[in-house]
Chain A
Amino acid sequence: MANVDRREFLKLVGAGSVGVGAGYLLAESIKHPVEHLIPYSVPPEEFSPGIATWYNSVCGMCPAGCGISVRTREGRAKKIEGNPAHPVNQGRLCALGQAGLQTLYNPDRITAPMLLQGKRGNDAFVETTWKEGLANVSGRLGVPGVATVVLSQGVRGQLANLLELFTAELGSAELLHYDFAHPHTLYAANERLFGQQQLPYYDIANTRYLMSFGADFLNNWLSPVHHSLGFGHSRQGGDAQRLRFVQIEPKMSISGAAADEWVAARPGSEGVLALGIAHQILAGGRYSGSDADDWTAALADYSPELVAEQSGVAAATIVRLADEFAQAKPALAIGGGSAANNSNGTDTLVAVTALNYLVGNIGQAGGLIFNPDPVTGPSASSRRANYEVMRDLAEAAQQGVVDVLIVNNTNPLFTLPTAAGFKEALASIPLIVSLSSFMDETTAMADVILPSHTYLESWGDDVPQPGVGFSVAAVSQPVVAPLYNTRSTGDILLGLASNLGFRDAIPWTTMEECIKDGWREIHARGEPGSGDFDSFWHDVLQSGVWGEDVRQQQDATVSKEVIDNIGVAAPEFAGDVGDYPFVLHPFMSTSMYDGRGANLPWMQELPDPITSVVYGSWLEMNPATADKMGLQDGDLVQVASMQGSVEVPVVIFPAIMPDVVAMPIGQGHESLGRYARNRGANPIQILAPVTDPVSGALATGATRVSVVATGRRAPAVKTGGESRQLGRDIVRFTSTTSDATEHSAKLNSIPISVEPA
C-alpha cells in the first residue's frame, strides 16, 4: 500500500464515499415508514380504537329488505352480516348482500355532482358544487307547467312518502317506481282472487308439501334468504316430517336442483297444469267448501288427459301430484319466475294460488298468510310501473311531452327491451337528472348528475315486501361517514324542495328528521305511557327493527265471478316456430340480480351454482338439441329474435327442455364501471314486447329465438370440470334394477377426451 499514487488515492476515496452513501440509503430503505397516531379531538361516544362497533341497518341490494349488521372499525365498514333480530332474514344474508361493501368502496362511484358539457352520452361531465347542481335542476323545475316524470327504483317507507309529496308539489308531475323484477303478475293475481293489495306471506317453514310453479324461491324470488331459511327448517328442522318439494319449470333452477321431483311443463302451460291439479282435487271430492259446485263447473274442461296434452306432463303424473298435494297437510303452492313471465302470467298465478284455497291453507300455518298494510309509507303496489307504463312513458317522451326526467337509482336503459324505445325517448327529453351512485347506462345519458349515497351512508326506513305475516318495519342508518361528496336521495329531494319553496308541504331539512317523523306514528301505535319517543327511537336504532304481533284478518272468500272466469289461455309467443324454433328463457342469476350486481368483483367471481360458469354470458341448451344441431359446449352462437341478436357460447345443460334455451340476465353492460363493462351479453335487449294484458307486465319468457352457429369457439369459463365420471369410477353406485346398472355402466364408459387447443 506504500505506493498509492494520487490517482489511486482518489479512486479509493470515491469508492469509500459511494459505499457510505449506499449503506446509508440501504439502512434507510429497510426502516419502518413513519406512522402517525392520530387521536380524535373529541372521540364519538363509546368509541375505542381496535374495537369493532356493529350497526344495524337495512340491506339495499335487492327489494327483499333484509336486516343487516355492519361491523365497523375506526369509522370504516368492514363486514356485513344479517341482523339476527330481523324476522325476514334472522341473521342470514345472501351473496349479493355480503357484497354491499363493494358498492360502498367501489372505485367507479360518482364522487361529486356533475354537469354535462357538450353532447349527451360522450361521458363529458364536469364536476360542480351541490349548490349549483341543485339550482340548475330546481331552476328548470320551477318553470310553471313543466312536465316532469320522477322515475325511481322501487322504494318504500318515508322516502316513498317524500317522493309522493315532492311530485304532488311539483304539480304537473308523475311518480313512477320501476324495478325490472317487480312481481306485477303476483300482485294482480292476489288482488283478483282475494282482493288483497299486499303480497301474502308464504309459510314455507311449516309446510309439508311444497309445489312451486317456476318460482326460484331459493335464488331470487321475492325474499330468497327468508325462503331458504324456511326451506331449511321444513326440510331438516328437527322432529317434523320432512318437506316434500316439487318444482315445475322448463329449465332447472337452483330451487329445482333442490327438489324431490322436477317436472318440465311446456312454457306457459303451468297455469293449465295447476287447473288440472285443481280439477283432480275436486274430482276426488277433497274440497268440501260451499262453492265446490262452482269450482267443479269452472274446471270441467281441465281433466288430466286434456291438460296432459297441453302441458306435456303425463296424465298419471298430474293425478299423482294432485293426490299428494291434497293429502299432505298443510300443502303450499307458489308461483312466479318462469310460470309468471308469459302472456298469461296473471291467469297462471291465479290458478296456482287457487290451489291453496282449495286445500284450505289460507291463514293457516304452512299455508298462505295475508300481510297487514305497511305501517309506514304508501301502499306497496302504488305507482309501480309495469312494462306498459314504461312503454307509454317512452312514447310520450318521443312525442315531446316530457320536459324533465328525474331518475333515482334505476336503470331502464339496461332492463327494458330495445323494443320499448327508451333510448330514443331519452333523446327527446330536454333535461335528464340522475341521482345514481354509479355511471350506469341511463345515468350516462343524463344532463345533470346529483349522486346519491349508497345505502350504507344513508338514513332510511323500510317495510319488507312481502312481509312475514305481521307488521314489521326497519330503520336504515348510516354506518360510515359519506366517502365522497354525495348526498342521500332523500336529502337531494329536500334540497330541491327547499329551492322550490315547498316548505309548507315538506317541512324537513334533513332526511334523518323526515324518517324520525314517520317513526313517531309507529311509536304512537304502542301502548300509551310505554316510554317517550327518544328512548323508543334509541331502541329501534339499536335493534334495527320493529315488529308488532298483530295478524291481518285471514278470512278468504273467492267471488263466484272470479271462479266462473277462471281459466288460462294458451300463451302467446313472438316469432314464428319455423324461423325461431326455441323459446328463450332469460333467468335472473343469484349474483347479478337484474344486472345491478355486475359492477361488484365478488359477484363477477361467483360461479353460477348450476353450471359453474363464471364471468360472461352463456346459452344453456339441451344435449339432444345440441347434438342435432352439431353444436358443442363452447361453440359461439348467434341468438336472434325478431328484435335483435346477441352472441354467446353454448353450455350444454341436461336439465332444460329440448325446445327451450336459457340465458342469464345481468351481464352485457355498456356502462356501470370497469368490472361490468363489455362483458357478456344482455338477453333483455332482444326480448319481444309481449305483455301479460292483465297486469301489464313484460312477458319475459314469450320470445322465440333462432340459434345459429358462428363457426367460432369461445368456451365459457367454468370452475367445475366435467359433470360425468368418464371412466374414473369416482362415485360407485348400484341399483336393484338392471336399467340403472346399465345407465351407470354407460355413464362410466364415456372416455376422457382432451380437446386439442
Chain B
Amino acid sequence: MNVSIVPTLRVLRPAATVALVGLIGIIAGFYANATLFTDTSPEQPIAFSHKIHAGDNEVPCLYCHVQARRSISAGVPSVNKCMGCHLEVATDRPQIRLLANYWDTKEPIPWIKVHDLPDFVHFTHKRHVQAGIECQTCHGPVETMAVVSREAPLKMGLCLNCHKDNAVENGTDCWTCHK
C-alpha cells in the first residue's frame, strides 16, 4: 500500500510551526536563565572581597578557612575571627560596620554557598589540601575576585580528569566519591 504523508503535513503545518517556535522559545528561555540569571556569583549579605584579603593583602586561604586541611568541610570563619582584625582594621567602612553589627547582636552571617556539591557526592577538603592541590584548581583565582563566582563547572568530569591525570589510587572507582 502506498500512502502519501503530504496531505497530513499540509494539515499539520500551522500547528508544527507553532510547536517549533514554542520549542525554540523553551531553549532560549532555558539558555537565558542558565547564562544571564546564573547563580554562580550570588549577592552576599556583606560585600566581602576576596581580592582585598587574599589578593592585595596576601592573607593565606587557610588562615581563615582553617578547617580545610583537617576536615571534610573548609569551614567559613566564625564572626569573632573576622573581628579579630576588624576591631582595628578599616572600622569606618560601611561593610565593616555591617560586620560589627552582626558581632554586636551575636547574629551569624547568612553567607550564601557559591561552591556546592550535591549530597550524593562525598568530597573531602582534607585529602585534597593534604595532597597539595591548590585551592584555585577547583575554586578559580579567588584572590582576584571582588565578588566570588563559580568558575569551574564542579561536574563529575572535572573530578575524573584530575584523578586520571594525577593517577589517583582508586581515583575512578565509583565508591571513592559516591558512598
Report which A residues bind B (CB closer than 8 A): 8, 11-12, 15-28, 31-32, 34-43, 48-51
Contacts and interface: CB of A to CB of B under 8 A. Distances in A.
A18 B25 contact: yes
**Across chains A and B, which 7 residue pairs bring their CB atoms closest together, nearest first?**
A19-B25, A23-B29, A27-B33, A50-B71, A20-B29, A23-B30, A23-B26
B25 A17 contact: yes
A48 B75 CA distance: 8
Contacts of B111: 36-39
A31 to B, nearest CB: 6
A12 B42 contact: no
Interface stretch (B53-61, B77-85, B136-144, B155-163): B77-85
Given A39-B77, A39-B79, A50-B75, A23 B67 contact: no
Contacts of B70: 48, 51
12 contacts: A8-B14, A16-B21, A22-B25, A22-B29, A34-B112, A35-B112, A35-B113, A35-B116, A39-B78, A39-B108, A40-B78, A51-B67
A8 to B, nearest CB: 7
Given A26-B30, A51-B71, 12 more contacts: A8-B14, A15-B25, A19-B26, A20-B29, A22-B26, A23-B29, A36-B113, A42-B80, A43-B80, A48-B70, A49-B75, A51-B72
B106 interface: yes
A48 B113 CA distance: 18
B109 interface: yes
Contacts of A17: 25
A36 B110 contact: yes
Interface string B18-57: 1101111111111111100101001000000000000000
Contacts of A12: 17-18, 21
Nearest to B39: A31
Given A32-B39, A40-B78, A41-B107, A24 B30 contact: yes
A15 B21 contact: yes
B73 interface: yes
Given A26-B30, A48-B70, A42 B79 contact: yes
A320 to B, nearest CB: 56
Contacts of B75: 39, 48-50
Contacts of A39: 75-79, 108-109, 111
A598 to B, nearest CB: 33
Contact of B39 (A19, A34, A43): A34
A8 B76 CA distance: 56
Contacts of B26: 19-20, 22-23, 26
Contacts of B14: 8, 11
B22 A37 contact: no
B73 A49 contact: yes
Contacts of A51: 67, 70-72
Contacts of B116: 32, 35
A23 B106 CA distance: 42
A15 B18 contact: yes
Contact of B28 (A20, A41, A48): A20
Contact of A19 (B24, B42, B72, B102): B24
Contact of A24 (B17, B29, B78, B103): B29
Interface string B95-107: 0000000110011
A520 B103 CA distance: 38
A105 B124 CA distance: 28
B71 A37 contact: no
A18 to B, nearest CB: 6
B49 to A, nearest CB: 17
A33 to B, nearest CB: 9
B18 A42 contact: no
Given A26-B30, A27-B30, A42-B80, A16 B108 contact: no
A300 to B, nearest CB: 71
Contact of B18 (A11, A26, A37): A11
A49 B113 CA distance: 15
Interface size range on B against A = 35 or more
B60 to A, nearest CB: 18
Interface string B116-146: 1010000001000000000000000000000
A452 B149 CA distance: 48
B109 A23 contact: no
Contacts of A42: 78-80, 106
A8 B18 CA distance: 9
A99 to B, nearest CB: 25
A92 B91 CA distance: 55
Nearest to B80: A42
Contacts of B77: 39
A19 B28 contact: yes
Contacts of A36: 110-113
B113 A19 contact: no
B77 to A, nearest CB: 6
Nearest to A35: B113
A182 to B, nearest CB: 46
A48 B125 CA distance: 13
A514 B160 CA distance: 57
B21 A19 contact: yes
Nearest to B27: A23
B80 A41 contact: yes
Q: Most chain-B CB neighbours within 10 Å: which of A19, A27, A36? A: A19
Given A19-B25, A48-B71, A41 B31 contact: no
A106 to B, nearest CB: 24
A590 to B, nearest CB: 31
Contacts of A43: 78, 80
A51 B72 CA distance: 7
Q: Most chain-A CB neighbours within 10 Å: which of B21, B39, B77? A: B21
A40 B70 CA distance: 18
B121 to A, nearest CB: 12
A19 B29 contact: yes
A593 to B, nearest CB: 35
A27 B29 contact: yes
Contacts of A37: 76, 111-113
A17 B14 CA distance: 17
Contacts of B71: 48-51
B33 A24 contact: yes
A26 B23 CA distance: 13
A23 B25 contact: yes
A728 to B, nearest CB: 36
Contacts of A38: 108-111
A175 to B, nearest CB: 42
A44 B141 CA distance: 32
Given A35-B113, A39-B109, A49 B67 contact: yes
A339 to B, nearest CB: 50
A440 B29 CA distance: 56
Contacts of A34: 39, 42, 112-113
A308 B63 CA distance: 81
Nearest to B38: A31
Contacts of A32: 39, 116, 118
A20 B32 contact: yes
A165 B76 CA distance: 49
A18 B29 CA distance: 9
Q: Most chain-B CB neighbours within 10 Å: which of A8, A18, A23? A: A23
B130 to A, nearest CB: 14
A1 to B, nearest CB: 8
B155 to A, nearest CB: 12
Contacts of B112: 34-37
A664 B94 CA distance: 69
A563 B72 CA distance: 68
Contacts of A20: 25-26, 28-29, 32
Contacts of B21: 12, 15-16, 19
B29 A21 contact: yes
A344 B157 CA distance: 75
Nearest to A74: B73
Contacts of A41: 78-80, 102-103, 106-108
Contact of B33 (A8, A18, A28, A48): A28
